[in-house]
Amino acid sequence: MFKKECIAMLLAGGEGRRLGLLTQRLAKPAVHFGGKYRIIDFTLSNCSNSGIDTVGVLTQYQPLVLNSHIGIGSPWDLDQKNGGVTVLPPFVEQNGGRWYKGTANAIYQNLNFIEQYDPQYVLVISGDHIYKMDYSLMLEHHKAQQAEASIAVIEVPIQEASRFGIMSVDEELRITEFEEKPKHPKNNLASMGIYIFNWDVLRSYLLLDEQNPDSSNDFGKDVIPRMLREGRRMSAYRFQGYWKDVGTVESLWEAHMDLLAEKPELDMYEPEWKIYAVNPNQPPHYIAPTARVQRSLVNEGCLVYGTVEHSVLFYGVHVGAGSHIQDAVIMPNVKIGRNVTIHKAIIGAGTIITDDAVIGSPDSPDVILIGENDYIQPAIIPHS
């Protein structure tokens, strides 16, 4: 193998339990997003657009959909002769094998993979977030700061800060303190779960961490705090832009609604920073004479006869005449009959909704979630 300056390790094992029905058969990074993509497409596209051509994808829960989605990485231009994308599931050795115990353990178990490339730096990212980021700028920052570890940070509303790893930094952006999900956060600089390490330093800490029986083998809980305690040079890299964890039904829905803003914070139409995805090869969508489509995203392969307002339609969705879809996310190949009303809902892929069904209501505070390949008839009005 050729030596690489920087390779990426992408943690894609998230179970996404809070996404309920959507993650019954697939891992969180494989959940559909943005009318066309899966969540992991954003990080894979970031890698590709940042010039990182070697990515190890660590899978764990329900890997089938994710594995076939990633394939050999050609949609992201990651089907490379040297490097490219490699899916790294937990494996069994002669003396046994085991599930990845934590984020750090997942990397530890793949030391051999990393060492093939003899990298100087390792970028650790997760496949759970929606954002566009040029990792090469973060690497420049890491080098300029002569850091041994860099953590990307974003300012979050202080009332939400206790959901994140929160950092204190000095005026040179050196990290002075790190608290994982603090009850009483001291400030609002949240870790985005994006790390760049000098490989020799990370390697030694992974070995130490593995020997510690009390460790949960997690970057945020164990490895980062220990490095800080031991006085390693750690730098914060400030990120400005759209970044969202779509770990709950509510936040997944919200993130879709964010795309429908007058000027969305996340621009998916930038020619220099395309988001790549597996292409379903569908023709342009058809908007019938009876249809009305406003403030919406519509993908290829859709047939629209009804009204679609402030909603996202993935590929292959049919909306029958007289139906009204509002504030909804309709995942791939959902077939909606006539005179159906849908408000504030996420409809899982492949579901069929027959004529006259009513889902959700305009004044409901909750987002209604309907799972994949379901069959909804008018008599059944599901609750969230």
Partner 1 sequence: MPNAIGVINLAINQPLLHELTYSRSTAAVPFGGRYRLIDFVLSNMVNCGVKKVAVFTNNNSRSLMDHLGSGKEWGLDRKQGGLFILPPSTIPNGTFGGDLQQFAANLDYFLRSKEKYVIISSSHMVCNIDFSDVMRSHVRSGADLTLIYKELNSQTEDLSDSITLDVGLNGRVRAMRDSHIEQGSNKVYMRMMVISKELLVDLVKRSVSQNYYDLLRHVIMRNLDRWHVNAYEYKGYLGIINSITNYYRNSMNLLKPENWHSLFFCPSVIYTKVKDEAPAIYSEHARVTNSLIANGCIVEGTVENSILFRGVKVHRGAIIRNSIIMQKCEIEASAILENVILDKEVHVSVGTWLEGEKLVPAVYSKKSVI
Contact footprint for partner 1 (CB under 8 A): 34-36, 74-75, 262, 268-269, 274-277, 279, 281-289, 291-300, 303, 312-314
What is the smallest separation between the CB atom of 215 and partner 1, expressed in angstroms?
Answer: 41
What is the smallest separation between the CB atom of 301 and partner 1, expressed in angstroms?
Answer: 8
* Whether 295 contacts 32, CB under 8 Å: no
297: tokens are 């995203």
Q: Which is nearer to partner 1, 165 or 332 (CB)?
A: 332
Q: Which is nearer to partner 1, 65 or 268 (CB)?
A: 268
Report which residue type is found at 67. Answer: N
Q: Which is nearer to partner 1, 213 or 289 (CB)?
A: 289
Closest-CA residue to 304 (of 284, 275, 277, 276):
284
Contacts 24+ apart (CB under 8 A), 251-258: 252/19, 252/22, 252/31, 252/33, 252/329, 252/346, 253/329, 253/344, 253/346, 253/367, 255/33, 255/130, 256/33, 256/34, 256/312, 256/329, 256/346, 257/310, 257/327
What is the smallest separation between the CB atom of 278 and partner 1, expressed in angstroms?
Answer: 9
What is the smallest separation between the CB atom of 206 and partner 1, expressed in angstroms?
Answer: 36
Q: Which is nearer to partner 1, 152 or 298 (CB)?
A: 298
The secondary structure of 249-272 as a DSSP string is HHHHHHHHHHTTSSS-SS-TT-TT
What is the smallest separation between the CB atom of 259 and partner 1, expressed in angstroms?
Answer: 8
Q: Which is nearer to partner 1, 233 or 295 (CB)?
A: 295
In residues, how long is the chain? 384
What is the smallest separation between the CB atom of 34 and partner 1, expressed in angstroms?
Answer: 7
**Pairing mode of beta strands 307-309, 324-330:** parallel
- Please state, in angstroms and rounded to a whole number, the distance separating the CA atoms of residues 337 and 333: 13
Q: Which is nearer to partner 1, 228 or 291 (CB)?
A: 291
Phi–psi pair at 285, nearest 5 degrees:
-80, 160
Name the packing angle between helices 39-49 and 63-70 (round to 10°). Answer: 30
Q: Within a 13 Å sphere around the CA of 275, how many CA atoms are in the beta-carbon half? A: 19
Phi–psi pair at 184, nearest 5 degrees:
-125, 85
Q: Which is nearer to partner 1, 19 or 297 (CB)?
A: 297
Question: In 112-172, at which residue ranges do the beta strands (DSSP E only) sit?
Answer: 121-126, 129-131, 149-155, 165-169
Q: Which is nearer to partner 1, 48 or 86 (CB)?
A: 48
**Other C-beta atoms lying within 10 Å of the C-beta of residue 261:** 10
What is the smallest separation between the CB atom of 368 and partner 1, expressed in angstroms?
Answer: 22
* Whether 86 contacts 55, CB under 8 Å: yes
- Please state, in angstroms and rounded to a whole number, the distance separating the CA atoms of residues 337 and 322: 9
What is the smallest separation between the CB atom of 325 and partner 1, expressed in angstroms?
Answer: 13
Q: Which is nearer to partner 1, 75 or 220 (CB)?
A: 75
What is the smallest separation between the CB atom of 312 and partner 1, expressed in angstroms?
Answer: 8
